Amino acid sequence: MAAGAGGAALGRAALAAPLVLLYYGFSIGITFYNKWLMKSFPFPLLVTLLHLLLIFALAALARALARCRSGRPRAALSWADCLRRAAPAALSTSLDIGLSNWSFLYVTVSLYTMTKSSAILFILLFSLLFKLEEMRVTLLLVVLLIAGGLFMFTYKSTQFNAQGFILVLCASFLGGIRWTLTQILMQKAELGLPLSISEKLFRFHEAGMLFSLEICILFLATHLLGDRLSLLNWLGFAVCLSGISLHVVLKAVNSKGDKTLEPHKDASSDPDLELLLHHTEHGDKEEEDVETPQQ
């Protein structure tokens, strides 16, 4: 049994290794590619438009192939639902990508990577506004760590550009709106688009992967592109990562707690089980009443 389990684990690791390498390669490569592209072709909004048109075409192709394979029609939204529910998420997504590409005309890769990490602050903000999260002291600590780390990273930076920094910050703000609205949209079962936005889908609970990705980008930016970072900048980076790691740990703990409570909640909400328990308790009570006179 142990040998079989070990072999299965090795098999899963062997299958996951190429995927992890692809993830790192594409994630790091797209950042440096966008920086190079904006220098060679400084039309960020046009690039974003072409990008979104290509995504639209590929999504339509994927839907058509899925329909042909399954034989079932895919979920379709009415124009009213598209304009009222899907359009805000789509608009914030396009502006997030467009401003991010635009910022590459002014900022270094290291400043972009660090500032873009502030998106989690805005995700927390809009999660509180839309009541997807509850206000806790730990969330306040996360905000202070990330904001403080970002301030230390940009303080007296020799390659700081205010215009580019504002563009990235606006993109992060829109990113917070984007992911919050996307989660709300995907959880609307009446739209026919139920999707679990959980750690199983996006794997954002893998904090080590996220941290090592950012570290790789900053390391390559300093060695390949000549980005200059002081000791204070690196310390700010560490403080910011500590805030992100705290948020990831808290989400993981809360997720495990919810999963532990779910079986009990489901059992207690089952009407058949409640009826069975009611009859059992009623029967026990009748037996006690019958035995009492005999004593």
Question: What are the pLDDT digits (tens) for 208-247?
Answer: 566 667 778 888 888 888 888 788 888 888 888 888 777 7
| pLDDT on residue 195 | 44
| pLDDT on residue 50 | 93
Confidence of residue 9 (pLDDT cuts 50, 70, 90): low
Q: pLDDT (tens digit, 9 = 90+) per residue, 113-136?
A: 888 878 878 888 888 887 777 777
* Residue 98 parent element (H or E): helix 87-103
| pLDDT on residue 89 | 87
Q: What is the mean pLDDT of residues 255-284?
A: 49
Across the chain, what does the average pLDDT equal? 74
Confidence of residue 41 (pLDDT cuts 50, 70, 90): very high
Q: pLDDT (tens digit, 9 = 90+) per residue, 189-211?
A: 455 555 434 444 344 444 556 66
Confidence of residue 100 (pLDDT cuts 50, 70, 90): very high
| pLDDT on residue 8 | 62
pLDDT at 274 over 70: no
Residues in Cβ contact with 171 at an 8 Å cutoff, skipping those fewer than 6 apart: 95, 96, 97, 99, 100, 103, 116
Query: Using an 8 Å Cβ cutoff, are 154 and 160 in contact?
Result: yes
For the ranges 9-13, 23-27, 46-50, 87-91, the lowest mean pLDDT is seen at 9-13
| pLDDT on residue 272 | 41
Q: What is the mean pLDDT of residues 52-72?
A: 89
Q: What is the mean pLDDT of residues 57-70?
A: 89
Rounded distance, CA 176 to CA 173, Å? 5
Q: pLDDT (tens digit, 9 = 90+) per residue, 135-179?
A: 778 878 888 888 888 888 777 666 788 898 999 999 999 988 888
Confidence of residue 98 (pLDDT cuts 50, 70, 90): very high
Query: Using an 8 Å Cβ cutoff, are 183 and 176 in contact?
Result: no
Per-residue tokens: 155: 């303080």
pLDDT at 4 over 70: no
Confidence of residue 48 (pLDDT cuts 50, 70, 90): very high
Q: In this predicted model, which residue has the larger pLDDT, 15 or 141?
A: 141
| pLDDT on residue 283 | 52
Most confident residue range from 13-17, 18-22, 187-191: 18-22
Compute CA distances 95 → 52, 72, 90, 98, 178, whole Å. 11, 34, 9, 5, 9
The count of other CB atoms within 10 Å of the CB of residue 105 is: 16
CA 197 to chain centre: 8
In terms of Cβ atoms closer than 10 Å to its own Cβ (0-12, 13-18, 19+), residue 4 is exposed
